[in-house]
Amino acid sequence: MSSEANVRVRPKETEHEINERGYFVRQKNHFTTPFGEGEGKLPVEAGRYRLIWAKGCHWSNRASIVRELLGLEEVISINLVGHGKHEQNLGWEFVFNENQSDPVLGVQFLSELYASADPEYKGRPTVPAVIDVHTGKVVNNDYVWLTNYLEKEFAPFHKAGAPDLYPAELRADIDKYNDFLFDNVNNGVYKAMFAQSIEAYNDAYEHLYAALDSIEERLADRRFLFGDYVTDSDVRLFVTLARFDTYYFKNLGPLRNRIVDFRNIWGYARDLYAIPAFKNNTYLRDLARGNGDKSTIFIDYNTRFWDQIDYEGLWSQPHDRRAKSSDPEQKFKTQH
């Protein structure tokens, strides 16, 4: 049962995460204790943690994809949250479960798990959130490093033949490129969508498309961002690409290009989507679902067409990405 004392109204980004110039400044992650061995780290144990994520949130979608790629389904349990209808915005809720309650944690709202971990926490309760099922508390919401913890610290629990998404020899380069993706693409779309001044919007928009142009060029002669095999960076880019033409476009203003207009990026995105872990954790139709008023002629694109578009067919169209690899039959470098 939910504890009213721990159910919090969701803070508004427009009141807490916009600076004086109208720029969106995303809140910092609060629970950042790393996983690993030794004092001051979260112990790496099978069955101890539960990953909470949401279909629409690409930060959390990254973790759900990597969890399946590495075969951690029996090691880290999982559940989805969504938004319920209340007089006030109470944030992420276990709307897909009976009685809107997580069957393992016994709570209705994600905010309860944040309040249990830190009663003084004032920020937005965000996903991904890793919960210690022994205590019912959030122990990590650090989307910046979470997939890397799954790839590195949880290696003893990886399935046989699991992909090496974070090769030791590339980690410095991957980390640097991930920073670029965060600033310009992953968070770049939000900086444009949430901007409260035209100056902030134009700045974010220009950086976003400059980044997409550089990625389009990078993918001209390589199958994936770091060559022949999928890495952590590809997961991070994919989750934004999957939402661009299905959802983000509505709030981005006049678009210079859709994702389908970038020849290399669009083929690359479909190449990744063909991988079961990507497809299984990407709910394209749910992302596109429109909830506008169909009784008027002036309704948005998604309200009109979200249930008519063959997303599976669109994302399964053939492409020529295999030809860019020296190992075309394999998309992953496996661990040894």
Residues with catalytic annotation? 57, 190
Q: For residues 149 and 293, which has the higher predicted lDDT (pLDDT)?
A: 149
Whole-number percent of the chain with pLDDT over 70: 98
Segment among 73-77, 95-99, 120-124 with least mean pLDDT: 120-124
Mean pLDDT along residues 9-21:
89
pLDDT at 234 over 80: yes
pLDDT tens readout for residues 41-93 = 999 999 999 999 999 999 999 999 999 999 999 999 999 999 988 888 889 99
pLDDT at 30 over 80: yes
**3-state SS record for the chain:** CCCHHHCCCCCCHHHHCECCCCCECCCCCCCCCCECCCCCCECCCCCCEEEEECCCCHHHHHHHHHHHHCCCCCCEEEEECECCCCCCCCCCECCCCHHHCCCCCCCCEHHHHHHHHCCCCCCCCCCCEEEECCCCEEEECCCCCHHHHHHHCCHHHCCCCCECCCCHHHHHHHHHHHHHHHHHHHCHHHHHHCCCCHHHHHHHHHHHHHHHHHHHHHCCCCCECCECCCCHHHHHHHHHHHHHCCCHHHHCCCCCCCHHHCHHHHHHHHHHHCCHHHHHCCCHHHHHCCCCCCCCCCCCHHHHHCCCCCHHHHHCCCCCHHHHCCCCCCCCCECC
Mean pLDDT along residues 17-33:
93
Give the per-residue pLDDT at 336: 67
What is the average pLDDT score of the chain? 95
pLDDT at 108 over 70: yes
pLDDT at 107 over 60: yes
Give the per-residue pLDDT at 9: 86
pTM, whole model, 2 decimals?
0.95
pLDDT tens readout for residues 175-198 = 999 999 999 999 999 999 999 999
Task: Name all domains of the chain by residue range, CATH numbers in brackets.
Answer: 13-157 (3.40.30.10), 170-324 (1.20.1050.10)
